[in-house]
Structure 1
Amino acid sequence: MKLKSLLIANAVLLGSFALQAHAEDEAQLIKQGEYLSRLGDCMACHTVSGQGDYAGGLAIESNLGTIYSTNITPDKEHGIGNYSEQQFSDAVRKGVLPNGSRLYPAMPYPDYAKISDADMHALYVYFMKGVKPSSEQPPETDLSFPFSQRWGMRFWNWAFTSDKPFQPIGGASEEVNRGAYIVESLGHCGSCHTPRGLGMNEKALDSGDDQFLAGGSLNSWDVPSLRGLPRWSEQEIVDYLQTGRNDKAAVGGEMKSVIEHSSSHMTDADLKAIASYLKFLGGNPALQAYDVKKQQATEAKLTAAKGLSEGERLYIDNCGACHFVTGKGAPGIFPELDQATIVNAKDPGGLIHTILAGAQQPSTEKAPSTLAMPGFAKRLDDDQVAKLATFIRQGWSNNAPAVKKDQVAEVRKTLKGE
């Protein structure tokens, strides 16, 4: 009897250890999955201010119409609580729901297709056991015909997506390949920074094609190339992703949400890996030859404040206090205008929007202050904004086309009370 009791006690003890080990493994997976969800920027698209995390309902404007993000909490009626792990993986990596319905590629599954099986498992455990269920019912996406016919996405996927797993770059360092994995899969950087084809598809899905991360357009903003980033050091790339600012630039547009919800939560090692990968890509020549004499001439004229054009006067009155007569701003505080990407973009929409609506940097752990630029929509009319933007695009060493007041009027229509 004593032996039997001892065996029972040992079995109970072993069972207790096994349960504890399972709980510890599950807790670690939940923690890992939460971090991976930050790498994937899931929060930005599936969370609306004032509602539960991942409850969906964000209105995503596209060329096809408004697409609403879905509830991805483990609620069994309105969320994904009934999904098996395979169904979860198919939705994330293939854009296919359990009922066979197809997602629109506003969900970046063409990029998520490269997520590893191990990372997918951790994500599944996190969303099923680490996220609070929400019964929130987001609005239904209702696009006009023929885009409302989701079955047609089957042919789009056949033409423009790939089920090929992530391919490490031969001969590249472990750090560069870690950065490549993040950028090409979870980070889905190509969904904005890679040019789109006639089918609104990303023209390239990995670094094997020079078009990958070569720049594009999003909501009338020119999206810059990330290949090489010749004007930025690796540390400046890290600083920008971690805080939304560096010594040359400050975040604006859609990228603000990426910084706030995703990259500011990444580890230093992953941010350095991303920076190493982007510098490794190369292939992005400098914006333009730096014209020292032209820069000095603009600075001297603004300093003397004599014989100013209306654009130059508007700059002195509205912008000079922060960006200075040098156009260099203040490192880490006010961004440079001389040679800035947004200033020299082919489409001036981003610069116009910033002048009209202003901008505010996100609060992050490494940079909690929220520095803001005021908008001038109420202070300046379309003609004044056009002249101001033209001066900025052609002053110092900048050399971009002039801005017309009609272009300003079009951007003003999109402000929606900003």
Structure 2
Amino acid sequence: MNKIILSIVCIIVVVAAGLGWFVTRLPSSPFDNVADTGMPSEELLQYGEYVARQGDCVACHSTPQSKPFAGGLEMGTPLGSIFATNITPDKQAGIGNYTLADFDRAVRHGVSPDGTRLYPAMPYPSYVKMSDDDVRALYAYFMHRVAPVEAENRDTDIKWPMNMRWPLALWNAVFTERGTYTAKSSQDEMWNRGAYLVQAAGHCGSCHTPRGLAMNELALDDGSPLYLSGALLDGWYAPSLRNDFNTGLGRWSEDDVYAFLKNGRNQHAVVFGSMAEAFNNSTQFMTDPDLKAIAHYLKSLPGDPQRDGTPWQYDDTTVASLSVSNRRNIPGAQTFAAKCGFCHGSNGRGQNQWIPPLAGSASSLIKETASQINVTLNGSSRVVADGIPDNYRMPSYRDQLKDEEIADVLSFVRSSWGNRGGSVTAEEVKALREHTDPTSSNPIVLQMR
């Protein structure tokens, strides 16, 4: 019996030791033992800034009140709030003491120099695909072009035991992949460039791919039909970026996708919510060839007709229901005429590229109601192109409309002009009203230098 007990204890010790080694070990980096070569070239610094724009680093690692990259942005998770860290080259509060290998491990593997595991709100499951050259340039930019800021990092408000970081090592082993992006020989150079930008630095899947119970992305590349098929995340629904006719890009051309990324608007939609931040701080700064490569790649992704449903068709009978004699008898119609109709039109078609259509919009055809409730409550950031804010911002109706009124007008929109997204309840509006910060939609374009 003593031998059996001793054997069990030995097995436990060995397993625990192995688990401890697995959890605490630092991932290898191609930059291990690479010496600092001093001041990088201006060309490398400029390219590093461009990579930072691709990754939209400034959006998460800054707040409207902070200096660029000083951290502090609160991000909600099912476990509690976490706060983005200071990634300026300050040696006390930031990453000023990071070596290139340290930086690489944090960016591509989610591990800090002391072995602390980063929460996957840092999109290292995507960044792991970044090339060595891009990581090297990004490091040079942060170390030699970003101004250091002495701003202390904030602790999460996640309670014990859920705030323990070591299980993230196991999470990474199960839900992430290793290795940089590998070009597909069956595709052309343009397609592969677009795939690289979307899957790696662009980390589009972080918002647009559905997540599992462990908050893992259910797909990390186009090998799965779930990749970029749309997802709900922290009060916004990021629509499908696949060729779904109703809920994705099925009615968009490559030129439409390019225009949306370049200008923040096209005939189908205008950026709002989290995508407005991505445009204001990221996509508009990318080169035309890169934006066209992204459009080329996205338009190659097939939709799912079974999931998407019967293709939407415009129904003009709603125009009559908005007449003075009819709208008072239809829930939400009077509110639409008073608050929405002047901009979006009684025909629901909007105003060319300046004010988006509600008829046939993805947010009016999906069952998820979060984006429409959120933008109605809190408005949307101004689209800031070339440093100039536009004049057509969606206003906040948080203080003007009650929960029931917002529910009624959105239910009207989601059932008009052929839309079939379904009704909205006052309880859903109330929940998102309480969840969202009324200042979260303040317009901001962060200057990175």
What is the TM-score when the length of structure 2 is the normalising length?
Answer: 0.84
Q: Is the 8 A contact 1:113 1:165 kept in 2?
A: yes
Structure 1 residues 411, 388: CA separation in 2 closer, same or farther (over 3 Å shift)?
same
Question: Counterparts in 2 of 1:387-398, with a 5 A limit?
Answer: 387-398=408-419
Question: Counterparts in 2 of 1:19-418, with a 5 A limit?
Answer: 26-228=41-243, 229-285=249-305, 288-292=310-314, 295-303=315-323, 305-306=325-326, 308-365=329-386, 368-418=389-439
Q: Distance in 2 between matches of 1:101 and 1:375?
A: 40
Give CA-to-partner distance per residue, 1:122-152, whole Å, 9 cap, x none. 1111111111111111212242122211111
Q: Which runs of 5+ in 1 are unaligned?
A: 1-21
Q: Distance in 2 between matches of 1:46 and 1:96?
A: 17
Structure 1 residues 151, 226: CA separation in 2 closer, same or farther (over 3 Å shift)?
same
Q: Is the 8 A contact 1:46 1:56 kept in 2?
A: yes
Q: Distance in 1 between matches of 2:125 and 2:411?
A: 38
Q: Distance in 2 between matches of 1:83 and 1:385?
A: 49
Q: Is the 8 A contact 1:243 1:363 kept in 2?
A: no
> Aligned-pair distance for 1:301?
3.2
Q: Distance in 2 between matches of 1:381 and 1:304?
A: 23
Q: Distance in 2 between matches of 1:401 and 1:152?
A: 40
Structure 1 residues 25, 385: CA separation in 2 closer, same or farther (over 3 Å shift)?
closer
> Aligned-pair distance for 1:362?
2.1
> Aligned-pair distance for 1:209?
1.5
> Aligned-pair distance for 1:414?
2.6
Structure 1 residues 400, 417: CA separation in 2 closer, same or farther (over 3 Å shift)?
closer
Q: Is the 8 A contact 2:364 2:420 kept in 1?
A: no
User: Match for residue 16 of structure 1?
Assistant: none
> Aligned-pair distance for 1:23?
9.3
> Aligned-pair distance for 1:120?
0.9
Give CA-to-partner distance per residue, 1:144-194, whole Å, 9 cap, x none. 122211111111111111112212233212111101000000000001111
> Aligned-pair distance for 1:345?
2.2
Q: Distance in 1 between matches of 2:438 and 2:100?
A: 42
> Aligned-pair distance for 1:271?
0.7
Question: Counterparts in 2 of 1:5-24, with a 5 A limit?
Answer: none
Letter in structure 2 aligned against 1:134: V
Structure 1 residues 261, 287: CA separation in 2 closer, same or farther (over 3 Å shift)?
farther
SS at the partner of 2:317? helix
> Aligned-pair distance for 1:66?
1.0
Q: Is the 8 A contact 1:358 1:374 kept in 2?
A: yes
Q: Which runs of 5+ in 2 are unaligned?
A: 1-36, 244-248, 440-449
> Aligned-pair distance for 1:284?
4.4
User: Match for residue 3 of structure 1?
Assistant: none
Q: Distance in 2 between matches of 1:58 and 1:25?
A: 30
Identity of aligned residues (%): 41
Q: Distance in 2 between matches of 1:400 and 1:41?
A: 31
Structure 1 residues 250, 82: CA separation in 2 closer, same or farther (over 3 Å shift)?
same
> Aligned-pair distance for 1:282?
2.0
> Aligned-pair distance for 1:303?
4.7
Letter in structure 2 aligned against 1:379: Q
Structure 1 residues 279, 101: CA separation in 2 closer, same or farther (over 3 Å shift)?
same
Give CA-to-partner distance per residue, 1:294-352, whole Å, 9 cap, x none. x1211233257436413222211211111111100011111110111112221212112
Counting matched residue pairs gives: 395
Q: Is the 8 A contact 2:343 2:350 kept in 1?
A: yes
Q: Distance in 2 between matches of 1:367 and 1:173?
A: 36
What is the TM-score when the length of structure 1 is the normalising length?
Answer: 0.90
> Aligned-pair distance for 1:389?
0.9
- Mean alpha-carbon deviation: is it higher for 198-207 or for 282-291? 282-291
Q: Is the 8 A contact 1:113 1:185 kept in 2?
A: yes
Q: Distance in 2 between matches of 1:98 and 1:66?
A: 23
Q: Distance in 2 between matches of 1:254 and 1:341?
A: 16
Letter in structure 2 aligned against 1:191: S
Q: Output the aligned Cα RMSD.
A: 1.9
Q: Is the 8 A contact 1:76 1:82 kept in 2?
A: yes
Letter in structure 2 aligned against 1:276: H
Q: Distance in 2 between matches of 1:93 and 1:65?
A: 24
